Amino acid sequence: MTAHIESEKKDIAKKVLLPGDPLRAKYIAEKFLENAICINHIRGMFGYTGTYKGEKITVFATGMGMPSMGIYAYELCQFYDVEELIRIGTCGANQKGLHVKDVIVATASYTLSSYPYLFFDDNENIFYADQSLTQKLELAADHFGIPIQKGSILTSDIFDVYVEKEKYFQKYPKEIETLASEMEAAALFAIGKHLKRKTACILTVVDSIYQDDYVSSEDREKALDEMIQIALDAMVL
Could you give phi then psi for residue 32, rounded to 5 degrees? -115, -25
Closest CA to 84 of 108, 58, 65: 58
Q: Are 205 and 147 in contact (CB under 8 A)?
A: no
Residue type, 193: K
CA distance 110 to 153: 6
Provide the sign of the torsion angle of the four alpha carbons 112, 113, 114, 118, taken in this order: negative
Angle between helices 131-144 and 217-236 (to 10 degrees): 120
Task: Give the CA angle between residues 227, 101, 91 to the nearest 5°.
Answer: 80
CA distance 22 to 114: 25
CA distance 137 to 140: 5
Residues marked as catalytic: 207
